[in-house]
A and B are shown apart, each in its own frame.
Chain A
Amino acid sequence: MSDVALISNPNEEWVLPSRGIVGMVCLILAEASIFIIFVVAYIFYMGKSLAGPTPKEVLTLPIFTSICLLSSSLTVHAAVSALSRSKRHLCSLWLAATVLLGGIFLAGTAHEWYDLIYNHGLTISTNLFGTTFYSLVGLHATHVLVGLIMLALALWFSLRGQMTHEHTEKLEVLSLYWHFVDGVWVIVFLVVYVLGR
Chain B
Amino acid sequence: MATQTPAIETHNAAASKPSRPLWLEVLHGWVTTVDHKKIGLMYIGYALFFLVVAGFEALLMRIQLAVPNNHFVSPQVFNGLFTVHGTTMVFFVGMPILFGFGNYLIPLMIGARDMAFPRLNAFSFWISAFGGILLYYSYIGGSGLYGAGSAPDVGWFAYAPLTSRVFSPGHSTDYWTLAVLLSGVGTIGTALNIVATTISMRCPGMKMSRLPLLVWLYLVTSCMTFVAVGPLTAAQIMLMLDRYAGSHFFDTQAGGSAVLWMHFFWIFGHPEVYILVLPAFAFANEIIPVFSRKAIFGYPAMVAASVGIGFISLGVWAHHMFTVGLGPGANTFFVLATMVISVPTGIKIFNWLATLWGGKIHFTVSMLFAIGFLFQFLVAGLTGIMLSVAPFDWQLGNSYFVVAHFHYVLVGAILFMLFSAFYYWYPKVTGRMLSEHLGKWHFWLFVIGFHLTFDFMHIPGLLGMPRRIYTYEADRGWMIWNMIVSSGAAIQAVATLLFVFNMVWSYFKGAVAGADPWDAWTLEWSTTSPPPAYNFAKTPTVASRRPLWDLKHPEDPDSNYETEQHLPRSSQEESL
User: Taking beta carbons and an 8 Å cutoff, which residues of A are in contact with B?
Assistant: 1-9, 12, 14, 16-19, 22-23, 26-27, 29-38, 41, 44-45, 48-50, 124-125, 127-128, 130-132, 134-135, 139
- On chain B, the residues within 8 Å of A2 by CB distance are 8-11, 515, 526-528, 537
Q: Are A6 and B241 within 8 A (Cβ)? A: no
Q: Are B196 and A23 within 8 A (Cβ)? A: yes
How far apart sit A36 and B228, CA to CA, in the bound complex (Å)? 12
How far apart sit A23 and B222, CA to CA, in the bound complex (Å)? 12
Given contacts A7-B559, A41-B238, A135-B238, contact A27 B254 (CB under 8 A): no
A7 touches which one: B10, B195, B257, B543 (CB < 8 A)?
A: B543
Q: Are A37 and B231 within 8 A (Cβ)? A: yes
How far apart sit A25 and B116, CA to CA, in the bound complex (Å)? 14
- On chain B, the residues within 8 Å of A44 by CB distance are 257, 260
Q: Are B246 and A125 within 8 A (Cβ)? A: yes
**Is B69 located at the chain interface by the 8 A CB criterion?**
no
**Is B75 located at the chain interface by the 8 A CB criterion?**
no
- On chain B, the residues within 8 Å of A41 by CB distance are 238, 249, 260, 264
27 contacts between A and B (CB under 8 A): A1-B11, A2-B9, A2-B526, A4-B540, A5-B7, A7-B551, A8-B543, A9-B541, A9-B543, A12-B204, A16-B202, A22-B196, A30-B225, A30-B227, A32-B230, A34-B237, A37-B264, A41-B238, A45-B255, A124-B245, A124-B246, A125-B248, A127-B255, A128-B255, A128-B256, A130-B247, A135-B249
Given contacts A7-B543, A35-B234, A37-B267, 17 further A-B contacts (CB under 8 A): A1-B11, A1-B537, A4-B8, A6-B550, A7-B547, A12-B204, A18-B200, A19-B200, A26-B192, A26-B226, A34-B234, A37-B231, A50-B255, A127-B254, A128-B254, A128-B256, A135-B237
Q: Are B233 and A34 within 8 A (Cβ)? A: yes
What 1/0 mask marks residues of chain B from 292 to 336 whose CB sits below 8 Å from any chain A CB?
Answer: 000000000000000000000000000000000000000000000
Q: Are B205 and A8 within 8 A (Cβ)? A: yes
B526 touches which one: A4, A16, A50, A139 (CB < 8 A)?
A: A4
Given contacts A1-B11, A2-B8, contact A30 B543 (CB under 8 A): no
- On chain B, the residues within 8 Å of A131 by CB distance are 241, 247-249, 256
B324, chain A: closest CB distance, angstroms: 15
B556, chain A: closest CB distance, angstroms: 13
Chain A: which residue is nearest B204 at the CB level? A14
What 1/0 mask marks residues of chain B from 534 to 550 whose CB sits below 8 Å from any chain A CB?
Answer: 00111011110001001
Chain B: which residue is nearest A135 at the CB level? B241
Q: Are B248 and A6 within 8 A (Cβ)? A: no
B241 touches which one: A9, A19, A23, A124 (CB < 8 A)?
A: A124
Chain B's interface size range is: 35 or more
The 6 closest A-B pairs by CB, nearest first: A33-B230, A1-B537, A125-B246, A37-B234, A19-B200, A8-B541
Given contacts A30-B230, A125-B245, contact A4 B205 (CB under 8 A): no
What 1/0 mask marks residues of chain B from 179 to 204 whose CB sits below 8 Å from any chain A CB?
Answer: 00000000010011101110111101
A40, chain B: closest CB distance, angstroms: 8
- On chain B, the residues within 8 Å of A37 by CB distance are 230-231, 234-235, 264, 267
- On chain B, the residues within 8 Å of A32 by CB distance are 230
B523 touches which one: A4, A9, A36, A132 (CB < 8 A)?
A: A4
Most chain B beta-carbon neighbours within 10 Å: one of A4, A26, A35, A125: A4
A1, chain B: closest CB distance, angstroms: 3
- On chain B, the residues within 8 Å of A8 by CB distance are 204-205, 541, 543
**Is B117 located at the chain interface by the 8 A CB criterion?**
yes
A26 touches which one: B191, B246, B527 (CB < 8 A)?
A: B191
Q: Are A30 and B229 within 8 A (Cβ)? A: yes
Given contacts A12-B205, A128-B255, contact A29 B550 (CB under 8 A): no
What 1/0 mask marks residues of chain B from 31 to 54 whose CB sits below 8 Å from any chain A CB?
Answer: 000000000000000000000000
How far apart sit A19 and B116, CA to CA, in the bound complex (Å)? 7
- On chain A, the residues within 8 Å of B257 by CB distance are 44-45
- On chain B, the residues within 8 Å of A130 by CB distance are 247
How far apart sit A46 and B245, CA to CA, in the bound complex (Å)? 20
